[in-house]
Amino acid sequence: PTEERALIRLSLPSKGRLAEDSFQLLEECGLKIYKPNPRQYAATIPALPGLVVLFQRPGDIVSSVRDGSVDFGITGLDVVEEFKGPNQDILILHEALQFGRCDLSLAVPESLEGVQSMLDLQVYASRLPSPLRVATKYPVLTTQFLNQYQIPHTLISAEGTLELAPTIGYADIISDLVSSGQTLRDNRLRPLPDGNILHSQAVLVANRKALQENPQALQVAHTLLEYIEAHLRA
């Protein structure tokens, strides 16, 4: 339980685009992070004594904040919505940190010329001998979306080579993050204009119970928000 921990924990993305931008955001806010040495897993923010900074993968940040092993996290709304679970353990404290913008979107092979919209996709899927095969790292959000359109489908879980799935032949379409669109173009895929599942950007999240039960965590929440909002207003 949170109250037994001396230090408040904040998790930041350990690698990738979100990592650099979170670091920079906090620095610009006047909350510079000090990492004693690059191999160490923890860091501190002198402006926030009593707080330790940890580094995790974006999806793992959601699990940690959700189960309360970490009090605060900066990560993408995409993974928050995918992994937050049915109970309201995670509170979004700031919903628009102004970086890490991308869309979770359905994309089809360029060669599927008859599929230009969700309606076309419905028709296409209804003519397939078996359910539409969709490769994704976002099964929860993708299924919800396809169910709204009543499109029978099976999810294919894919790790690194998601965009290759349609070319190789183990999926018909994909559901993935699109930022510049370059990855899709490189793989001869195109997003469906009305197949946008979620607009995402970086968000600040907190464990709800920590805020309710730990005055120190509540204080940190106020301070973090104060610094972040002052910076974003400027």
- Which positions lie near ligand PRP, rule CB under 6 A? 16, 176-183
Quote the least distance from Cβ 186 to ligand PRP, whole Å. Answer: 8
Tokens of 30: 């006047």
Quote the least distance from Cβ 16 to ligand PRP, whole Å. Answer: 5
Quote the least distance from Cβ 184 to ligand PRP, whole Å. Answer: 6
Distance (Å, rounded) from C-alpha 91 to C-alpha 221? 11
Tokens of 89: 């353990």
Among 110, 162, 161, 111, smallest CA distance to 134 is for 162
Quote the least distance from Cβ 76 to ligand PRP, whole Å. Answer: 9
> In Å, what is the CA distance from 109 to each residue of 44, 163, 169, 189, 196?
46, 10, 11, 4, 16
Closer to ligand PRP by CB, 55 or 227: give it.
55
Closer to ligand PRP by CB, 113 or 186: give it.
186
Quote the least distance from Cβ 199 to ligand PRP, whole Å. Answer: 14
Distance (Å, rounded) from C-alpha 78 to C-alpha 75? 9
- Phi and psi dihedrals of 35, rounded to 5? -110, 110
Distance (Å, rounded) from C-alpha 28 to C-alpha 90? 26
Tokens of 4: 């037994």
Quote the least distance from Cβ 165 to ligand PRP, whole Å. Answer: 12
Closer to ligand PRP by CB, 17 or 231: give it.
17
Q: Cα(first)–Cα(last) distance of the chain, in Å?
A: 37
Distance (Å, rounded) from C-alpha 73 to C-alpha 225? 13
Closer to ligand PRP by CB, 26 or 104: give it.
104
* Residue whose entry in the numeric block shows the structure tokens 């923010």: 45
Distance (Å, rounded) from C-alpha 3 to C-alpha 26? 25
Closer to ligand PRP by CB, 150 or 182: give it.
182
